Chains A and B, each alone.
Chain A
Amino acid sequence: MVSYVGKRLLALIPVLIGVTILVFSIMHLSPGDPAQIILGPKATAESVKQLRHELGLDLPVYQQYFRWITNVLAGDWGRSIQMKMEVLPLVLDRFGATFILTLASALISIVGGVLFGIIAAAKKYSFWDRFLMFLVLVGFCMPVFWFGILLQIQFGLKLDWLPISGMHSPGKTGFVDMLPYLILPAVSLSAGTGAVIARMTRSSMLEVLGQDYIRTARAKGMKEQKVIYKHALKNAFIPILTVIGMQVGFLLAGAVLVEMVFSWPGIGTLMVKGIQARDFPLVQGIILFVATSYVVINLLVDLIYAYLDPRIKYK
């Protein structure tokens, strides 16, 4: 087990190096010049050139890469070109907000999705099955930004139950203060993922329910509820977990749109702004961080599988 984890951690290194090379080349090869953008259209060519020099952008790209990567390894993630702040604290701070949002909507979509899926599978081809699956498709089809705006108008403005945007009341911090702010963005982010999980749960439950040992259990006169919860769900859970693992990546990324709609101070808004401003150090830092956390989360998911399913062996 320990050596397996060690091996897996080692395997992360080439992936992360690949990610850094990819993000670096994408940022540097795409059109747009951070110096021009930061100085605005009104700047003179001379001052743009000087700023490029100050930022080290006039060096060959590979030199810039090595300079950046050695600094990163030494713990210096550079300073955002546009925000003028150090990248690492900024990224850590904003990632926290995204993580809370992602976690909340993962919980909502897993609980909701698995529940819907089980009910639909248990009552296969009944009205409830059709109704829930219809609902799930509606959820899937609603673009997060559109759904989010509707929720704001309904629950924030008309009913006045929940705050509309932001993460805290002005000047406050803390978990309790944040909760009401979290609900609407988390719900609108979870609709799509929840739909995928619900469908996968239903289909893998149906699969398992059709297998011989379930028939045997039923034939022995076991209660239907016990069949579903004791035998079927356990075996159906593995494919569901796979989907959940994949969806975490989508949640992290899909959070961008939700963050923009709800002014959630997460990493997604920071990233879009960074890309627009060609803020190289910032975007590179964000991607490196997000990619690392993505691979770590997937490693955890894999370890959970191994824990759940003794058939999986470590190589």
Chain B
Amino acid sequence: MADMNIQVTQHTVPKKKAGPWAQTWRRFSRDKAALVGAVLLGIVILLAVLAPFLPLDDPNAVNLAKRLQPPGTDGHLLGTDELGRDMLSRLIWGGRISVSIGFFAVGIAVVFGTILGLIAGYFQKFFDTVIMRFMDILMAFPYVLLAISIIAALGPGLINTMIAVSVVGIPYYARIVRGSTLTFREMEFVMAERAIGASHFHIIFWHILPNCLPPLIVAVSLDVGWMILAASGMSFLGLGAQPPLAEWGVMLSEGRKFIRMAPHVSLLPGLALFCVVLAMNLIGDGLRDALDPKTKV
């Protein structure tokens, strides 16, 4: 795997014009779909941030007499779950947790993956061999086992679930970034920088990293959703967030038990997750197009 490098997307070096970021932003803001995505994500984040100030029921208030009420029931706009807790409140509070899991897990994976990928791709030789071999080991290891083992060792819980799913993501980012790095380090503009004596650090962070971003952004846009789903898979195996914490992944996997008589219990968190994934994708597509003007014909 290590000796052949195929870029995931083949894009050329951005032209060195004045204010590339401003240009990107201008292009992005003209993309209607991307704006819809941004608004959607904005709403989700806003709801999550404002959860403590909204007039919601306590998301953990149990009422066994009113279990599994369908949406539209008095006092429970979106019904109740298997312990009679208010679904609307749990969805919004759950959003706080799930969206942060998604972003943090991807964030950790991207940061570590990118750094490792840059080092491996730029310095090559020894670093490349050691880092990429280790990434191969991680990738060859079935991720469910990796996650289960991390959780078995650290104990279940939100933070550990997050660590587990993000460790799984690291090799993927490392590979993507390394691939791009290998291409760009041979490009004229990098050669030129090196010729005038720029430091490695400068070259890596100012010239190579920005060029690695477009494929990263596409990957990230799907991965936030993937991380939430992976966390949900963990709780299907019984290793997710701890009760009574509301979290979409747990709600999805616990809700499957009531799929016949109260489908809303699992459908609603699924829908919420869908909104986030949709928004992230629209934004991701818009950003990619904006960063890489060539694809716009």
Contact = CB atoms under 8 A, between A and B. Distances in A.
A312 B4 contact: yes
Residue among B7, B142, B153 having the largest count of chain A Cβ atoms under 10 Å? B142
B236 A143 contact: yes
A152 B97 CA distance: 31
Given A30-B152, A146-B256, A257-B236, A141 B143 contact: no
A143 B295 contact: no
Contacts of A200: 8
A61 interface: no
A134 B4 CA distance: 34
Give chain B's interface secondary structure class: helix
Interface residues of A, number: 74
Contacts of A23: 141, 145
Contacts of B294: 207, 210-211
Given A140-B222, A203-B9, A271 B142 contact: yes
B232 A143 contact: yes
A18 to B, nearest CB: 4
Interface in B233-291: 233, 236-237, 252-253, 255-256, 259-260, 266, 270, 273-274, 277-278, 281, 285, 288
Contacts of A242: 6, 8
B63 interface: no
The prevalent SS among residues of A at the interface is: helix
Nearest to A296: B140
Nearest to A31: B152
Given A15-B133, A143-B232, A272-B237, A207 B11 contact: yes
A232 B218 CA distance: 20
B139 A249 contact: yes
B295 A15 contact: no
A65 interface: no
Given A141-B229, A143-B233, A256 B133 contact: no
A153 B260 contact: yes
Interface in A233-259: 238-239, 241-243, 246, 249-250, 252-254, 256-257
A91 B140 CA distance: 17
Interface in A7-24: 7-8, 11, 14-16, 18-19, 22-23
A60 to B, nearest CB: 19
Contact of B153 (A26, A140, A315): A26
A30 B149 CA distance: 7
Given A30-B152, A295-B136, 12 more contacts: A27-B149, A31-B152, A141-B270, A142-B270, A145-B233, A149-B256, A207-B295, A239-B9, A241-B6, A249-B143, A294-B140, A299-B1
26 contacts: A16-B140, A22-B137, A29-B153, A30-B152, A31-B152, A32-B152, A137-B274, A141-B274, A141-B277, A143-B253, A144-B233, A145-B236, A146-B253, A146-B270, A153-B260, A204-B9, A207-B294, A209-B297, A238-B6, A239-B7, A249-B143, A250-B143, A252-B142, A271-B144, A275-B152, A302-B1
